[in-house]
Amino acid sequence: MKALLSVIPLVVVSWFPAAAQEEYVPPPSQTLTTIPFSLAVESVVLIKAILVGHADTLTFILDTGSSGISLDSATASSLGLVPVASEINIRGIAGMRKAEFVYNERLKLNELTVDSLNFHINDYEFLSYVYGTRIDGVIGYSLLSRYILKIDYDTHEIEICSPGTLKYPRGGHLLKPFIRTLPVQTARVRDHHKVTSRFLFDIGAGLSLVLSQDFEQDSLILRKKRKRFPIQAHGVGGKLVMDMTLVKDFRLGPYRFRKVPTMIFEDEFNVTSYPYLGGLIGNQILKRFNVIFNYPQREIYLKPNTLYREPFEYSYSGMELYYLNNAIVIGSIVKGSPADLCGFKEGDIVIAIDNNASQDFAQYKKALMSAKKRLKLIIRRQDELIEIPLKLLSVL
């Protein structure tokens, strides 16, 4: 036995030849600051920041679908900032236009100051009344490209970290998206057919899944008998009409979602560069994960959170609620929709929904998201108070 044991170390050494054990490793990532965030209408991430040299606290949407950083035109004017015209085109889902910029500004996020920022100027009035709160701008690639961001939807906190080596937590999945300025991720959609395509990873979109009409028609992805309802959506450039429907199955990495509410839109301004992209994945799906955006390493890490099994909403009312001049106002109404058939009119002011007269915009929006639910709305039309019953339909 002793003779046998003495041979073993010699055999092991012969299997593993000597090799250099030195390797350059970047310094570990360090937390620079932690900032709170809120979810506007339970859909998009809002953070607070201060433009250095100005006292006002500003509200920004954090948006992986933004290739830079931007300020609302009214906010820029109120801060005395004078934009400079450029030849750069800004393209969004609802339009395209020439960009104006405010150059070389600094933004303060708690104790972290981010310098050398070039803000393009946009009109975000429509975002303010859709989300029921003042939106001063959108933060995208200009921040995400410089730092590692850890978004925790359970604690509503974002940890901003320096680039460097990072150990991801257990229990999640690492994506390796293509990132130039926007993250593009492969995913699978299944309904009438099963199709794998590329999608924009877009936490700034308050929807679940959006498919271009070109992709939907070429792939024949949807069952012919699927219900489709027209709705009005909002994007950079203004309003556009989409069809609301659902797909049977959507798979992102190892994570699978069933009966996913889906929007189909005509990509008039070619934001998807079809067939490069089939559409986009919005934050109604992505908020179900605590996520680490590691753009310096071209990595996104997903870990399911407490929202992971939250049911999707399938309701259809055919009307929008807007927050205008300190009032909750009924916006555009689709002809033939439940809201239209019940007698609602654009411009009606909502006083209460059921017994809730709190004038809480988020609560009212949520009340309209419960499919097949019967509601009673009290509205003011001119000087008259009217009670109107409304039954919400389902896209299922």
- 173-287 domain in CATH 3.40.50.620? no
| 315-394 to CATH, choices 2.40.50.100, 3.30.70.260, 3.10.450.230, 2.30.42.10 | 2.30.42.10
Rounded to whole angstroms, the Cα distance separating 202 from 44 reads 10
Joined tokens for residue 213? 């009409």
Same CATH topology for 31-161 and 173-287? yes
pTM above 0.75, yes or no: yes
Strands 194-201 and 279-281: what pairing? parallel
pLDDT tens over the chain, length 396 residues: 444 444 434 444 444 455 556 667 789 999 999 999 999 988 999 999 999 999 999 999 999 999 999 999 999 999 999 999 988 777 666 566 788 999 999 999 999 999 999 999 999 998 999 999 999 999 999 999 999 999 999 999 999 999 999 999 999 999 999 999 999 999 999 999 999 999 999 999 999 999 999 999 999 999 999 999 998 776 665 677 899 999 999 999 999 999 999 999 999 888 899 999 999 999 999 999 999 999 999 999 999 999 999 999 999 999 999 999 899 999 989 999 999 999 999 999 999 999 999 999 999 999 998 887 899 999 999 999 999 999 999 987
Residue range 31-161 forms a domain whose CATH class is: mainly beta
- Ordered by start, the domain boundaries in the chain are 31-161, 173-287, 315-394
Joined tokens for residue 262? 């889906």
15 contact partners, CB below 8 Å, separation of at least 6: none
Q: Quick one: which of 308, 303, 302 has its CA closest to 285?
A: 308
Rounded to whole angstroms, the Cα distance separating 290 from 122 reads 30
